[in-house]
């Protein structure tokens, strides 16, 4: 939620000459996403989001993300379309970073979505999953179930500095999920991070699915489980059964095996965000102005499913 790379107006105006988008009218660094720098750019032809990819997004993955966003936009999904430069490419360099100019989408991210809004987003996710069927090549989920033991072991005893007993709790969950993970469920392209702040809405309408930089191939029902852990709990980490039911109803079409696996998948989703937030917590000084998301929020959500 910060602008890590400062782009001067002069450098931005020069950058835009590579595109057929008119002349620069306004540009504001915006607090959007977690790990990249973003600018809201207005030209004489329209508005765009300019993303500069910081270290955490791997350069070799960018063409896949760009192709996926374009594929989903072409399929009619409310996904921001990367803008092609005059040379046809959508990825360029700016201020020493890989950069992409992306269509601006209206809408706001909700902090306390209603059940109906949750259902609408889950329905959009189902459409996205179907649209992803034609997309290749696959991309492995680097933060998927196979990665969790390694993430946990790399932090090791430092987990105890977040909360006493956390290391043993995490390792037990890693082991339990290794045994219980439902590998045979239907897979496909998933968003893998469809939290409320990655969705734009106007009232009950989904106007944007954004931030595809964790998208990958994995179990489809796991994508819905990630949503459930993010949309079906309140700020005090209390489960909201009405929201969870609305998500499943909105998504629709889960088969019996997927329905039966949902609690295990949700435990996995909680563990994944617990682990990545623990990494960020341990890597970010407490005095930094970037808000560290509390890993223990996801431990509390995990206990809802594990108990």
Q: Which is nearer to a copy of itself, 112 or 307 (CB)?
A: 112
What is the C-alpha to C-alpha distance for residues 64 and 135, in angstroms, rounded to an integer? 10
Q: Which is nearer to a copy of itself, 41 or 143 (CB)?
A: 41
Q: Which of 29, 182, 187, 263 binds a copy of itself (CB under 8 A)?
A: 29
Told to check if 96 binds a copy of itself by CB under 8 A, we report: no
Q: How far is CA 265 from CA 9, 149, 270, 288, 297, in A?
A: 46, 16, 9, 33, 17
Give phi and psi for 132, each to the nearest 5. -75, -10
Told to check if 255 binds a copy of itself by CB under 8 A, we report: no
Instruction: Tell me how long the chain is.
Output: 307
User: Least Å distance between CB 107 and a copy of itself?
Assistant: 6
Told to check if 2 binds a copy of itself by CB under 8 A, we report: yes
Q: Which of 17, 28, 160, 205 binds a copy of itself (CB under 8 A)?
A: 28
Q: Which of 16, 27, 124, 143 binds a copy of itself (CB under 8 A)?
A: 27
Q: Which is nearer to a copy of itself, 208 or 268 (CB)?
A: 208
Q: Which is nearer to a copy of itself, 27 or 118 (CB)?
A: 27
- DSSP state at residue 25: E
Contacts of residue 33, defined as CB under 8 A and 6 or more positions apart, other chains included, come to 1, 51, 211, 213
Told to check if 307 binds a copy of itself by CB under 8 A, we report: no
H helices of 29-100, where? Answer: 62-74
Binding flags for a copy of itself, 105-144, as an x/- string (CB under 8 A): -xxxxxxx--------------------------------
Told to check if 54 binds a copy of itself by CB under 8 A, we report: no
User: Least Å distance between CB 26 and a copy of itself?
Assistant: 5
Radius of gyration of the chain (CA): 20
Q: Which residues of 208-222 are buried (b: 16+ CB within 10 A; e: fewer)?
A: bbbbbbbbbbbbbbb
User: Considering only residues 164-203, where is the footprint of a copy of itself by CB under 8 A?
Assistant: 200, 202
Told to check if 245 binds a copy of itself by CB under 8 A, we report: no
Question: Cβ(105)–Cβ(200) under 8 Å?
Answer: yes
Question: Cβ(205)–Cβ(171) under 8 Å?
Answer: no
Told to check if 146 binds a copy of itself by CB under 8 A, we report: no
Question: Cβ(90)–Cβ(81) under 8 Å?
Answer: no
- DSSP state at residue 145: G
Element (H, E) at 208: strand 205-209
Q: Which is nearer to a copy of itself, 8 or 255 (CB)?
A: 8
The encoded tokens of residue 219 equal 């179990």
Give phi and psi for 221, each to the nearest 5. -65, -25
Told to check if 9 binds a copy of itself by CB under 8 A, we report: yes
Q: Which stretch binds a copy of itself (CB under 8 A): 73-81, 128-136, 184-192, 287-295?
A: 287-295
List of residues contacting a copy of itself (CB under 8 A): 1-3, 8-13, 24-32, 40, 42, 106-112, 200, 202, 285, 287-290
């Amino acid at each position: 939620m910060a602008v890590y790379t400062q782009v001067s107006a002069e450098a931005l105006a020069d950058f835009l000459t590579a595109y057929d988008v008119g002349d620069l009218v306004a540009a504001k660094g915006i607090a959007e996403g977690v790990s990249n720098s973003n600018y809201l750019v207005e030209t004489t032809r329209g508005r765009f989001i300019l993303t500069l990819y910081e270290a955490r997004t791997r350069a070799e993955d960018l063409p896949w993300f760009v192709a996926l966003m374009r594929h989903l936009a072409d399929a009619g999904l409310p996904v921001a379309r990367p803008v092609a430069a005059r040379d046809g490419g959508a990825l360029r360099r700016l201020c020493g970073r890989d950069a992409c100019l992306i269509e601006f989408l209206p809408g706001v991210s909700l902090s306390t979505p209603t059940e109906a809004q949750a259902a609408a987003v889950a329905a959009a996710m189902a459409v996205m999953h179907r649209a992803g069927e034609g997309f290749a090549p696959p991309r492995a989920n680097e933060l998927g179930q196979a990665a969790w033991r390694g993430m946990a072991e790399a932090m090791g005893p430092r987990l105890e500095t977040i909360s006493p007993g956390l290391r043993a709790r995490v390792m037990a969950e890693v082991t339990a999920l290794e045994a219980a993970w439902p590998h045979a469920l239907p897979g496909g392209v998933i968003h893998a991070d469809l939290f409320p702040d990655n969705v734009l809405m106007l009232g009950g309408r989904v106007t944007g699915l954004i931030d595809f930089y964790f998208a990958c191939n994995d179990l489809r029902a796991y994508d819905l489980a990630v949503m459930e852990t993010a949309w079906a709990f309140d700020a005090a980490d209390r489960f909201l059964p009405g929201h969870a039911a609305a998500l499943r109803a909105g998504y629709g079409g889960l088969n019996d095996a997927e329905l039966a696996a949902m609690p295990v998948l949700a435990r996995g989703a909680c563990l994944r965000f617990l682990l990545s937030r623990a990494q960020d917590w341990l890597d970010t000084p407490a005095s930094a102005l970037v808000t560290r998301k509390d890993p223990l929020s996801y431990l509390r959500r995990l206990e809802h499913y594990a108990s």
